[in-house]
Amino acid sequence: MMKKVLTTPIKDEDLLSLRVGDVVYLTGTLVTCRDVAHRRLIELGRELPVDLKGLAIFHAGPIVVEKDQGRFEMISIGPTTSMRMEKFEKEFIEHTGVKLIVGKGGMGKNTEEGCRLHKAVHAVFPGGCAVLAATSVEEIEDAQWRDLGMPETLWVSRVKEFGPLIISIDTEGNNLFEENKKIFNQRKLPVIEEINQQIKFIK
């Protein structure tokens, strides 16, 4: 199977064939953008200092070392929990034109609607691989809102085949995590009943 690589700027047609569970990689521009940046834009109405149209954001708090002459080196870049951004994400997608959102764990109906209406996707990056992820960062090209501290700074990185990224919400609003919840809940009911039968003597 050919490796699917999304290259920024990402267009709607690049995403339309993707379905939940598909694995993709990213080449181009990846911007770390998490809690405070979302709140500044949506709640405070502060425009982001980075144009995200057609780009990808990463819900992440990286570890970065500042080198000489204003250069930076990415040491570790692991995902943070995406659900914390859930209440902002639909408006965020609409306002910024971001096409790929990467994080940890699933997101909810607000993000589903944002992805469906504006043709974006959410993807999860495997946990525990933050140092490995940093090896896909070719260069940190910019750093904005450094007053927020290292985890919340908007680190603008050039990446090559960053991933694997598992599509969890597609452009039709399908949600892998919610679909799996239904399947797993159905599977667990007979198991719970069987266990209850085996341990009912404990009462």
Residue 38 bears catalytic tag: yes
Catalytic residue among 38, 95, 118, 122: 38
State yes or no: pLDDT of 91 exceeds 70: yes
> What was the pLDDT predicted at 194?
77
Confidence category of residue 4, pLDDT binned at 50, 70, 90: very high
Contact 30, 57 (CB under 8 A): yes
> What was the pLDDT predicted at 203?
60
Average pLDDT over residues 41-57: 97
Cα-to-chain-centroid distance, residue 174: 16
Confidence category of residue 179, pLDDT binned at 50, 70, 90: confident
> What was the pLDDT predicted at 202?
67
Paired with 29 in beta bridges are: 158
State yes or no: pLDDT of 1 exceeds 70: no
The per-residue pLDDT for range 122-144, each reduced to its tens digit, is: 999 998 899 999 999 999 999 99
Query: Helix 86-96 to helix 109-118 angle, to the nearest 10 degrees?
Result: 10
Enclosing H/E stretch for 181: helix 176-199
Average pLDDT over residues 4-21: 97
